[in-house]
Structure 1
Amino acid sequence: MSRINLRIREQLFSSLLRQDLGFFQETKTGELNSRLNSDTKLMSSWLPLNANVLSRSLAKVVILYSFMFSLSPRLTLLSLLEAPLTIAAEKVYSVRHQAVLLEIQDAAAKAGQVVREAVGGLQTVRSFGAEEHEVCRYKEALEQCRKLWWRRDLERALYLLLRRMLHLGMQVLMLRCGLQQILAGDLTRGGLLSFLIFQEDVGHYVQSLVYMYGDMLSKVGAAEKVFQYLDRQPNLPPQGTLAPPALRGLVEFHNVSFAYPNRLDQLVLKELTFTLHPGQMTALVGPNGSGKSTVAALLQNLYQPTGGQLLLDGEPISQYEHCYLHRQVALVGQEPVLFSGSVRDNIAYGLKNCSDEKVMAAAQAAKADEFIKEMEHGLHTDVGEKGKQLAAGQKQRLAIARALVRDPRVLILDEATSALDVQCEQALKDWQSRRDRTVLVIAHRLQTIQSADQILVLREGELLKPAQLMEGQDLYSRLVQQQLED
């Protein structure tokens, strides 16, 4: 793979990671993979040849063979014997070529896996400000592909050299036969020289005809598709610049309303007003589709409110610098997204120069250190694709450790305690109380809700009155009654 190809892919991947979430809701993952792999390769290869060149090459082959046959039918037939020898060399080469292609496919699959994980877990990537980290992962995978492509091209170059030597050998043989015809008076010296020149031109034009037409049709369309993504401007506000040295973690919603970009006529949140205080745990409850996860998305600045203000320490949350914000506001989702790599890589995800001591401290706070120590390679154990080597509770604890290692001022647990035991939940509460952090818990479990300092109830995007524990006849009371009956 050429360096220009690597550069195009890196730029395209970086551009995709910076697009708004609405873009990925409308674009299929397979289409993105095709743009990154097939189309970038096509557009970085040789420039397409036009139909005029193709037709002229075909006409020249026919005319040259006619001239060659008129000069010497015997030498023309002899030149055709080169084909079986070329096929034999091609067979030997194809065996090695197929083996290299299999390695290339494996390497390309690993690079594609990075793309699928990053795109599939884009909200997590964006939440932890790890766009550059993912670009580096993809660049490393592409570098491995480039080495295999270089090996493939080297073997092809040697094969072409062998074929060229075979061609020269046939020319020597034909030169000898031509000299015999000259001595016999069947061919002139000028005729032999003309024949050899015609034969050289025929070989060149025949090779060109094989791939010329396909290149002409494919490369222009591929380049157009790639540049559509490179030139696309994400539907995002200008990035903020605020990065204060200290942050309290006071979150204020003032009449916040929100509708998703592709459904602007349907409000998901309607004039929400509430405050999340440092040192307090707030529980957000409500039926499915009431807008709870949307509140978490707004807190991470993944979307912008369509009305009202969302403030962090008195400043609009969109005014904070991207990576700084996502070090201060951390999310643990209901379905944790883990990436292929070691346990340590997943806990320290998106962080530079994060020591093993800090990683283990976060693991201990999330009660993940026990099963990590039981693993054969400890922190360096591979979790598998999307963490498939781990149980649900273990994945959840690693996701919590990934959030805690940042020591965030605001921690969002979006149904994150569903796969945890009471011991781990208590550890989270201890962490929150010791560090005076702001915690928002989206949960349905009574054990989690009843320990909250305040409870907010959402229904159809509207905030009902703050519920008091075990009192009233509102939605929260029905939830409590249901769990008591269970």
Structure 2
Amino acid sequence: MAADGLPHPRSLALFWRRLKPFLRQRQGMYFAGISFDLLTLSTTLAYPQLIRIVVDRGIEQGDMDQVNYWVSIMAGLLIIQSVSTYFRNYFLEIGAEQVGAAIRGWVFRRIIHHEIAFFDEQNTGDLTARLVGDVGQLRHTLQLLAPELIHFALMGLCAAGLMIYTSPPLAAVVIIIGPMIWLGSSRLGQFLRERATDVQSKTALLMSSVIEVLNGIVAVRVYHQEARAANSYDAAADVLISAAKRQVRGHSLLRSFTELLSEGAVVLAIFVGAVLIANRSLTAGALVTFILYATLVMRSSRNVANARAEVLRAQGATQRIFELGERESRMPYIEGLVPERIAGEIEFDGVQFNYPTRPGLAALQETRLKIAPGEVVSLVGDSGCGKSTIAKLIVRLYDPDQGRVLLDGHDLRTLDTEWLRSRVSFVPPEATLFSCSVADNIRYGTPDASDADIAAAAKIADADGFITELTDGYATEVGDSGRLFSSGQRQRIAIARAVLRNPAVLILDEATAALDSSAEARVKESLRELPSKPTIVIVSHRLSTIVDTDRVLVVQAGAIVAEGKHQELLKKSPFYQSFVSEQLVRE
């Protein structure tokens, strides 16, 4: 911001420079809209001259033929103006909708490629507010305010020229008001931009509160916290209203200020014009024409000032959306190494890792491990000890701070990202289902899979039985986040999705926790019999899940403290002995 409190010119220049690529994509729509706007503008500017002719040649001379002739021309111009206004609004508003959609799509595509750590640090409500609210504000600006800014700027300039042509003395009286309006709107516009940013932030907080409650509606209902949720919403809404009041006060002050000056200029022009007519220096028709042009100039100045303030407000509201879209991912997709074959050997070479949200707490410390191709390994330990962290590093949801994670001897950071995702499948604890059919959910990572392949994957995951019993079978819509299914059913669909990709490495992070023991046993047996013999890493707290794995890795405080088969660890690891005892009591 400049030292005098006005918005720095470079900030507006940056705003329009950010918009330019999106506007260029829709330049045909805007060119057509502006062309019709120029036609509308021409008809508007022609009316005062026609009215002057009607007054001076027709009314004052008592010549009704002149009146009828020129009024009929005015009626024709009115029809042309009406048609051109329709097409002006159509092209400019459709263009704005398309630009808004393009910006929202650009930001969304950028967001989904950001590293997982970014989402750990972000609030879902805030991201939603940026995509919906901020882009909506920008679309409103492009749809209504920016066209008005162009329209009235051109109208004001042309009307000012015709006003000067009509009566230079009167024009001097009116023109001195223009800089005063511009200066006042500039100062208030900066205030409105700051208030708009504040309102958007408060809106994001409100949406976060709503999303949190809706996502946790079961907990809200079970613990009878409806009143608390409502009070939380009311508190966030009150904060938003307070911010909106400050914005409205500034906006109201701007409008009243510009109204006072613009209308005052017209009143002053009428007084001076009456004096000139009395001195026979001006005709009545010329005064009427001048007043009409002066009204157009003042209205244009007022609307340009208001539109400019709104653009500044939109700049503040949309600054966050552009910052989000321009942010570079710290783990970008790379076109790296693509091995000719993959066996599935996993190795951790001195890995140390801290979650970005907890930089002072080591999740893994100098971890070293090696998993042979085709081996089935389970990770056990207390909650928060680092088991799931190991799983997430294998699938490269995060990169280690120190050390290397290797796949067949290749550092994951050197491998082609798309290739790696196609060869390593991961099933998280909370199975994610999308609002589409069961078949499409299973096919989600393998879009070219046939119906037969989907059914085969579902059988491996022990999901075919309950799916075929559904009314529409595999075509059944799962509903919002799959809430029509039980936790166990959602997990089996997620396992089927992972298996369908025929991965070389399969990671199951508490992926069978919601299954009953018989269903879990069937899934485990099917996974062992997969023809591809993938390397399987299982994170689990259930004894039944880990007893028959090839090897058990015991994790404590971010380090692997023991490893071996189930029976071996019972003899040599006190922690494992205690873990098994607790599980036997629970089961």
- Report the TM-score, using the length of structure 1 for normalisation: 0.67
- Trace 1:384-399 onto structure 2 (pairs within 5 A): 384-399=479-494
2-structure distance, mates of 1:243, 1:195: 76
Q: Which residue of 2 aligns with 1:246?
A: 341
Question: What is the SS of the residue equivalent to 1:465?
Answer: strand
2-structure distance, mates of 1:430, 1:387: 24
Q: Which residue of 1 aligns with 2:433?
A: 338
Native 8 Å contact 1:331 1:412 kept in 2 = yes
Q: Which residue of 2 aligns with 1:426?
A: 522
Aligned CA distance change for structure 1 residues 47 and 450 (closer, same or farther; 3 Å): same
Q: Which residue of 2 aligns with 1:13?
A: 108
Pair 1:361 & 2:456 matched: yes
Native 8 Å contact 2:121 2:357 kept in 1 = no
Native 8 Å contact 1:280 1:453 kept in 2 = yes
Native 8 Å contact 1:365 1:401 kept in 2 = yes
- Trace 1:85-484 onto structure 2 (pairs within 5 A): 208=303, 212=307, 215-236=310-331, 239-421=334-516, 422-435=518-531, 436-470=533-567, 471-472=570-571, 473-484=573-584
Q: CA deviation at 1:381?
A: 1.1
Q: CA deviation at 1:441?
A: 0.7
Question: What is the SS of the residue equivalent to 1:2?
Answer: helix
Aligned CA distance change for structure 1 residues 437 and 13 (closer, same or farther; 3 Å): same
Deviations 1:117-138 (A, max 9, x none): 9xx9xxxxxxxxxxxxxxxxxx
Native 8 Å contact 1:48 1:212 kept in 2 = no
Native 8 Å contact 2:117 2:398 kept in 1 = no
Native 8 Å contact 2:113 2:332 kept in 1 = no
Aligned CA distance change for structure 1 residues 190 and 430 (closer, same or farther; 3 Å): closer
Native 8 Å contact 1:432 1:438 kept in 2 = no
Give the RMSD, CA atoms, in angstroms.
3.3
- The one-letter code of the counterpart of 2:311 is M
Q: Which has the bigger relative contact order, CA under 8 A and spacing at least 6? A: 1
1-structure distance, mates of 2:116, 2:406: 22
Q: CA deviation at 1:406?
A: 0.4
2-structure distance, mates of 1:199, 1:255: 77
Q: CA deviation at 1:198?
A: 6.6
Q: CA deviation at 1:414?
A: 0.6
Deviations 1:99-154 (A, max 9, x none): xxxxxxxxxxxxx9xxx99xx9xxxxxxxxxxxxxxxxxxxxxxxxxxxxxxxxxx
Structure holding more helix per residue: 2
Aligned CA distance change for structure 1 residues 253 and 479 (closer, same or farther; 3 Å): same
Aligned CA distance change for structure 1 residues 377 and 214 (closer, same or farther; 3 Å): farther
- The one-letter code of the counterpart of 1:227 is F
Deviates more, 1:373-382 or 1:272-281: 272-281
2-structure distance, mates of 1:300, 1:333: 11
1-structure distance, mates of 2:414, 2:381: 30
Q: CA deviation at 1:188?
A: 5.7
2-structure distance, mates of 1:231, 1:434: 44
Native 8 Å contact 2:333 2:417 kept in 1 = no
2-structure distance, mates of 1:12, 1:465: 46
2-structure distance, mates of 1:211, 1:420: 62
2-structure distance, mates of 1:38, 1:482: 50
1-structure distance, mates of 2:377, 2:388: 14
Native 8 Å contact 1:340 1:387 kept in 2 = yes
Aligned CA distance change for structure 1 residues 415 and 394 (closer, same or farther; 3 Å): same
Q: CA deviation at 1:229?
A: 1.4
Native 8 Å contact 1:284 1:440 kept in 2 = yes
Native 8 Å contact 1:301 1:317 kept in 2 = yes
Question: What is the SS of the residue equivalent to 2:370?
Answer: strand
Structure 2: stretches of 5+ with no match in the other structure: 1-95, 164-206, 216-282
2-structure distance, mates of 1:201, 1:17: 48
Deviations 1:401-424 (A, max 9, x none): 110110111111111111113234
- The one-letter code of the counterpart of 2:380 is V
Aligned CA distance change for structure 1 residues 189 and 469 (closer, same or farther; 3 Å): closer
Aligned CA distance change for structure 1 residues 211 and 362 (closer, same or farther; 3 Å): farther
Aligned CA distance change for structure 1 residues 240 and 455 (closer, same or farther; 3 Å): farther
Native 8 Å contact 1:329 1:408 kept in 2 = yes
2-structure distance, mates of 1:239, 1:324: 10
- Report the TM-score, using the length of structure 2 for normalisation: 0.56
Native 8 Å contact 1:48 1:220 kept in 2 = no
Question: What is the SS of the residue equivalent to 1:310?
Answer: strand
Aligned CA distance change for structure 1 residues 231 and 48 (closer, same or farther; 3 Å): farther
- The one-letter code of the counterpart of 2:548 is S
Question: What is the SS of the residue equivalent to 1:290?
Answer: coil
2-structure distance, mates of 1:350, 1:403: 8
Aligned CA distance change for structure 1 residues 423 and 225 (closer, same or farther; 3 Å): closer
2-structure distance, mates of 1:214, 1:197: 24
Pair 1:28 & 2:123 matched: yes
- The one-letter code of the counterpart of 2:315 is V
Q: CA deviation at 1:300?
A: 0.8
- The one-letter code of the counterpart of 1:456 is L
Deviates more, 1:241-250 or 1:443-452: 241-250
Question: What is the SS of the residue equivalent to 1:239?
Answer: coil
Aligned CA distance change for structure 1 residues 362 and 199 (closer, same or farther; 3 Å): same
> Hey, which bits of structure 1, 4+ residues long, moved more than 3 A?
41-44, 46-50, 187-206, 208-211, 262-265
Deviations 1:227-253 (A, max 9, x none): 211221222267252223431111112
- The one-letter code of the counterpart of 1:426 is R
Native 8 Å contact 1:310 1:316 kept in 2 = yes
**Identity over aligned pairs, percent:** 33
2-structure distance, mates of 1:257, 1:197: 74
- The one-letter code of the counterpart of 1:411 is L
Question: What is the SS of the residue equivalent to 1:234?
Answer: coil
2-structure distance, mates of 1:412, 1:3: 42
1-structure distance, mates of 2:108, 2:501: 26
Question: What is the SS of the residue equivalent to 2:406?
Answer: strand
Native 8 Å contact 2:555 2:562 kept in 1 = no
Native 8 Å contact 2:446 2:500 kept in 1 = no
Deviates more, 1:232-241 or 1:2-11: 232-241
Native 8 Å contact 1:240 1:318 kept in 2 = no
Aligned CA distance change for structure 1 residues 43 and 359 (closer, same or farther; 3 Å): same
Aligned CA distance change for structure 1 residues 48 and 468 (closer, same or farther; 3 Å): same
Q: CA deviation at 1:372?
A: 1.1
- The one-letter code of the counterpart of 1:476 is Y
Larger radius of gyration: 2
Aligned CA distance change for structure 1 residues 326 and 216 (closer, same or farther; 3 Å): closer
